[in-house]
Structure 1
Amino acid sequence: MSAKDPAVSRFPVPALTDMPADIRERIEKVQEKSGFIPNVFLVLAHRPDEFRAFFAYHDALMDKPGNLSKAEREMIVVATSNLNQCQYCVIAHGAILRIRAKDPLIADQVAINYRKADISPRQKAMLDFAVKVSQSAHLVGDDDMETLKQHGFDEEDVWDIAAIASFFGLSNRMANVTSMRPNSEFYAMGRG
């Protein structure tokens, strides 16, 4: 899809040439690496300051070192995005999960019902907590922390899980409001 394709968003999508230089450069780097421009970059470029803030926080959560693997971080996104009915994030992050986990089935399993997915008890505990944060954070309590601790998660891990679930709650809602469409390229990534 091009930046002018109305199916990308229900809001105006600026042409690449009209974007601020830093945003255009970031998008071109992503395009060079992946072979296409994920629609989230085009849609969020509508508001440059928010684009910068969004991707700064995204990168801080998803690219940092820590006890959560990059695949586990993507599992959180896929499981919570499914519950938030975010087609874009389930499809796009499902593709990334398949690649990072080196497993063509994992994203579909996690998206549909992570409790029956071929993941470890530790990962199920992680996703139970992420889902609770996503759907009913007001019910999070000390018992949740104890359960995660029993599965080897420390306080920083708990923060990461909660932050990822929370951040993608925002992302899911904006993707739904903007009617952001997943790129067709995502559907086949990591399956073969």
Structure 2
Amino acid sequence: MTLNSYPFKDEQEKNSKPIGRYPVPYKKDLPFDIVELMDEVERQIGFLPNIFKVLSYRPLEFRAFFAYYNAIYNKETGGLSKADKELIIIVTSLSERCLYNVVVHSAMYRFYSKNPVLSEQVCINWRKSDLPAREKAMVEFALAVSHADEITDEHFKKLEMHGFNREDAWDIATITAFFAMANRFVHFIDIIPNRGFYSVGRNNDTKQTENESTAPKIC
């Protein structure tokens, strides 16, 4: 397999800093299904998130990673919205000091919540933010899972007070656990965020306020 640090056109930028510690394969050397997914995502958002490039170094793990992400993130059932899931990812990634996932998922939270001010508040101090009590209860539970705290019946009772059932608790936990793994992987590889994420969801452009069904599906 031919390897190169900059095989994707969106990374041929002024800054020549590598996107991580491992080389990225040329797209022409990758399996067709992986290239097809990459092209779909790039069409949706205008650039290819660096996590796709880095994981393409190991195609079997690429497929497994995105298959599980799709199963827990893009499922049609359950009480969690896309904004809820992004909020969980931001808060737990902040706790784990993961710049990549904080930048990427604060962008997606801005997109889904349509509230860039709240997103900024959350990234500074979610406890002092304008988050409703429901969302604060959700992220408190997510942090307990992320920190491997002892989970007790009291955690479930508090969630139930805010409208979450046991299935919702499972969904909060799986999103949290998956991104705990992703955060550690990103730390190890030292993946940098794409510049494009910094501007997502910061204005009222119609392309950024469409229905969730047309929103970009990324990781």
Tell me the TM-score normalized by structure 1: 0.95
Structural mapping, 1:42-191, within 5 Å:
42-65=53-76, 66-135=78-147, 137-191=148-202
CA distance in 2, matches of 1:15, 1:143: 51
The reply to whether residue 22 of structure 1 matches residue 1 of structure 2 is no
Q: What's the secondary structure of 1:105's corresponding residue? A: helix
CA distance in 1, matches of 2:49, 2:7: 11
CA distance in 2, matches of 1:105, 1:171: 26
- Give the alignment's Cα RMSD to 1 decimal: 1.4
User: Are the structure 2 counterparts of residues 3 and 177 from structure 1 closer, same or farther at C-alpha, using a change threshold of 3 Å?
Assistant: farther
Shift of 1:112: 2.2
- Residues 74 and 93 of structure 1 are in contact (CA less than 8 Å); yes or no, is this contact kept in structure 2? yes
Deviations 1:104-163 (A, max 9, x none): 12222222221112211010000000011111x241111101111111101110000011
CA distance in 1, matches of 2:151, 2:20: 34
- Residues 88 and 180 of structure 1 are in contact (CA less than 8 Å); yes or no, is this contact kept in structure 2? yes
Q: What's the secondary structure of 1:68's corresponding residue? A: coil
**Which structure 2 residue ranges, 5 or more long, are not aligned?**
9-15, 204-219
Aligned residues: 191
The reply to whether residue 9 of structure 1 matches residue 16 of structure 2 is no
Query: Which of the two has higher C-alpha Rg?
Result: 2
CA distance in 1, matches of 2:27, 2:139: 37
- Residues 97 and 106 of structure 1 are in contact (CA less than 8 Å); yes or no, is this contact kept in structure 2? no
Q: What's the secondary structure of 2:24's corresponding residue? A: coil
Aligned to 2:209: none
Shift of 1:63: 1.1
Q: What's the secondary structure of 2:178's corresponding residue? A: helix
Q: What's the secondary structure of 2:79's corresponding residue? A: coil
Q: What's the secondary structure of 2:19's corresponding residue? A: coil
Shift of 1:88: 0.5
**Which structure 1 residue ranges, 5 or more long, are not aligned?**
none
Which is richer in helix?
Answer: 1
Q: What's the secondary structure of 2:25's corresponding residue? A: coil
* 1:142 maps to amino acid: D
Which residue of the other structure, out of 25, 34, 52, is the alignment partner of 1:41?
Answer: 52
Q: What's the secondary structure of 1:139's corresponding residue? A: coil
